[in-house]
């Protein structure tokens, strides 16, 4: 079913359930993090990344992590909207709702939680100045890639396979980079992923309500 087609009641129910489950999981995770219940998990996972350090991985993750930055994604968003909106009606709406909704939600929660950055192991680069929870890079890259997949995936085909593999590889690489670089806890990136999935679901509901079909 094209992403711009009018949504069916069954599809609406599925997307609403996904959004609500992600919201509930995010609330529970936030409470657990605020009360320090998952600190041992965070430390154990970051310890594994610290032990896996190599010069080659240092360079790779230091470079790939920028793909989740707004300095990269905002210009890419503008290019896609300007060049492809005429051929893909609704592209601007679904990307705008999903991506910017996810970004705004992430930064609101960041400054509500005010979680300090990891301190268990030395960082490879300088620590960012903003709070840690949730990971904005994670939210941004997963939301952006997932929304692109929703818009452009055309079913089982060579193009669909390449697109899926490429977007998944980029997303996973950026997410791993945040922990490898010791700038985010695993609970930070988990929260970012939940926000991205929640807002992608909301974007589908928004884009396909009243669409042509």
Which one-letter DSSP state was computed for residue 46?
H
Query: Could you read off the pLDDT of 77-116 as tens digits, one per residue?
Result: 999 998 988 787 778 888 999 999 999 999 999 999 999 9
Residue 119 has pLDDT above 70, yes or no: yes
Domains and CATH numbers, the chain: 9-208 (1.20.144)
pTM (2 decimals)?
0.92
In this predicted structure, what is the pLDDT of residue 166? Answer: 96
CB 134 within 8 A of CB 30: no
| Tokens 């997307």, residue located | 15
Query: Could you read off the pLDDT of 8-27 as tens digits, one per residue?
Result: 888 889 999 999 999 999 99
In this predicted structure, what is the pLDDT of residue 11? Answer: 84
In this predicted structure, what is the pLDDT of residue 167? Answer: 96
Percent of the chain with pLDDT over 90: 71
């Amino acid at each position: 079913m094209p992403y711009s087609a009018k949504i069916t009641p069954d599809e609406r129910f599925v997307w609403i359930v996904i959004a609500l489950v992600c919201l509930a999981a995010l609330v529970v995770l936030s409470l657990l993090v605020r009360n320090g219940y998952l600190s041992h998990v965070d430390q154990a996972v970051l310890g594994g990344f610290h032990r896996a350090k190599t010069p080659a991985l240092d360079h790779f993750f230091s470079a790939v992590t920028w793909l989740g930055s707004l300095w990269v994604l905002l210009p890419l968003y503008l290019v896609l909207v300007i060049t492809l909106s005429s051929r893909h009606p609704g592209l601007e709406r679904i990307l705008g709702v999903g991506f910017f909704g996810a970004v705004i939600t992430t930064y609101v929660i960041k400054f509500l939680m005010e979680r300090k950055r990891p301190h268990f192991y030395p960082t490879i680069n300088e620590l960012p100045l903003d709070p840690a929870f949730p990971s904005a890079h994670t939210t941004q890259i997963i939301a952006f890639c997932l929304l692109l997949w929703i818009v452009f995936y055309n079913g089982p085909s060579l193009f669909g396979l390449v697109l899926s593999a490429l977007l998944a590889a980029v997303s996973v690489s950026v997410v791993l980079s945040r922990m490898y670089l010791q700038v985010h806890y695993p609970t930070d990136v988990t929260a970012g992923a939940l926000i991205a999935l929640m807002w992608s679901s909301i974007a589908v509901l928004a884009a396909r309500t009243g669409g042509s079909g």
